[in-house]
Structure 1
């Protein structure tokens, strides 16, 4: 299966910031498993104490960022499941800062957070691999906007890409200083 990038009417305007970087990866399906390795390569060597690092007082720690990736992987994969199954039930939005605050990610081992991401992503890869073209083209509503299943696949990749850029530019560079 080869996926083509979604058209702008297949996702909310805000998510263009994720669809663009996912599209730049060229093969979004190949990017899905690569991001597991990229996240582990960037963060797998850090101790739990190092992973509590925040580059600013109002920012998330590295552990909180990985926990956020896990939350979003779950939420977007649920949206992907519902929409690909032609479920027309409007899906709610969520407040990411509330989710991170309530999760106590800094109390969890970084290795577990990274393993959780890998398991979530591998489950999504299997689900996506077995979707028909009809399922990928389905559209539904989330957060009051129309989304296609195709767009959600791109958004999964683009969301991680967005945070990997932030990790390199804001966290890892500040830790080296």
Structure 2
């Protein structure tokens, strides 16, 4: 799947930022390597770190994993809709509102890891099925024009963003 052209996504602090974070030309390889990294990172995380926050008002490590999973669910759904020719605008989402109404801290780490793995495996299967023509289809998400493939690259960039935060602020890599 080719990297999206600048005309395939909005130049803003989310869309372009996440896409530009991906320094690979093969997004499927990036998603696959990230999958292994995140899965191993969380499987080997000591239980006493699950609720660690690097600052007041920030998310703990269970919440970060839940957020990564939720965001991938949403972006993959948007990508699917656009790939299938959806004409209706797809809504945005407020990650802080989603966190307010989540129950990540009540779930086991095993359940959060299982959800992450299931979502990533499903996303990879979907994205591998896209032809270049399908992946280049345009739609509207969060009030912005975007291609199906731009959303795939945004998933990879979003995860890379959070992996960098885990390393820098949580001292986990």
| TM-score tier after normalising by the smaller chain length | over 0.9
- Structure 1 residue 170, shift from structure 2 partner: 0.6
Q: Report the count of equivalent residues.
A: 170
Aligned match of 2:140: 141
Aligned twin of 1:164: 163
Determine the structure 1 residue equivalent to 2:82: 83
| Runs of 4+ deviating beyond 4 Å | none
Report the secondary structure of 1:25's partner residue. coil
| Deviation per residue, 1:76-132 (Å, 9 max, x gap) | 011001000011110000110010121121111122212211110110111111112
Q: Could you tell me the TM-score, scaled by structure 1's length?
A: 0.91
Q: CA deviation at 1:150?
A: 1.2
Q: TM-score, normalised by structure 2?
A: 0.93
Q: What is the CA-CA distance between 1:153 and the residue it aligns to?
A: 1.0
Aligned match of 1:18: 18
- CA separation in 1, counterparts of 2:106 and 2:171? 21
Gaps of 5+ in 2: none
CA RMSD in angstroms comes to 1.3
